[in-house]
């Protein structure tokens, strides 16, 4: 069974953001910034993958490390996080956004979330029946 961790954080969004602030808000809403990630390195890894998505090209972990000024180990750690969240995929040692753009990514996350909620509801119903609730 594949495990995918879906994280969505409701954060108020100001109306007069610039593109960088919008990207940070988007990434924060997807839980890409942990309390331990003071340098926002996961966000930086995600941005590098996003940049190459414009030309539908993948990027290697080594290229990400060079472009983001991070160690390859740090990049690999965050790549694994992004894969486990279902945001990116790996193909031939290159990393890609799971779909072609951010709007499709949100639609995919919505579908993943609905699927999880359906499973939870079915299990809750079965448990209620079993427990006589």
* DSSP-derived secondary structure for 26-74: HHHHTT---TT-TT-HHHHHHHHHHHHHTTT--B-HHHHHHHHT--HHH
| Whether 91 and 118 share a structural domain | no
* Domain range enclosing 87: 15-98
| Whether 91 and 107 share a structural domain | no
Q: Is residue 78 part of a domain?
A: yes
Contact yes or no for 53/101 (Cβ under 8 A): yes
Q: Is residue 5 part of a domain?
A: no
CA 127 vs CA 3, 116, 118: distances in Å: 22, 16, 14
Question: Dihedral (C-alpha) 70, 49, 88, 19: value to the nearest 10 degrees?
Answer: 110
| Whether 24 and 57 share a structural domain | yes
- Token pair of 69 as six digits: 């000024």
Q: Is residue 10 part of a domain?
A: no
- Token pair of 10 as six digits: 């409701």
Structural domain count of the chain: 2
Q: Is 97 helix (H, G, I), strand (E, B) or coil?
A: strand
Contact yes or no for 86/6 (Cβ under 8 A): yes
| Whether 22 and 81 share a structural domain | yes
| Whether 34 and 82 share a structural domain | yes
pLDDT digits (tens, 9 = 90+) for 33-85: 776 777 888 989 999 999 998 887 899 999 999 999 999 999 999 999 999 88
pLDDT digits (tens, 9 = 90+) for 4-43: 777 888 888 877 778 888 888 888 898 877 767 778 889 8
| Whether 53 and 43 share a structural domain | yes
pLDDT digits (tens, 9 = 90+) for 111-120: 989 999 999 9
Q: Is residue 6 part of a domain?
A: no
């Amino acid at each position: 069974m594949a495990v995918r961790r879906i994280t969505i954080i409701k954060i108020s969004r100001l109306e007069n953001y610039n593109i960088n602030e919008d990207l940070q808000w988007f990434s924060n809403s997807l839980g890409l910034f942990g309390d331990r990630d003071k340098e926002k390195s996961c966000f930086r890894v995600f941005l590098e993958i996003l940049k190459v998505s414009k030309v539908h090209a993948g990027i290697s972990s080594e290229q990400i490390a060079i472009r983001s000024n991070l160690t390859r180990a740090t990049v690999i750690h965050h790549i694994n996080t992004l894969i486990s969240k279902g945001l990116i995929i790996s193909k031939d040692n290159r990393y890609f956004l799971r779909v072609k753009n951010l709007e499709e990514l949100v639609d995919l996350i919505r579908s993943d979330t609905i699927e999880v909620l359906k499973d939870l509801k079915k299990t809750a119903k079965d448990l209620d029946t079993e427990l006589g609730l």
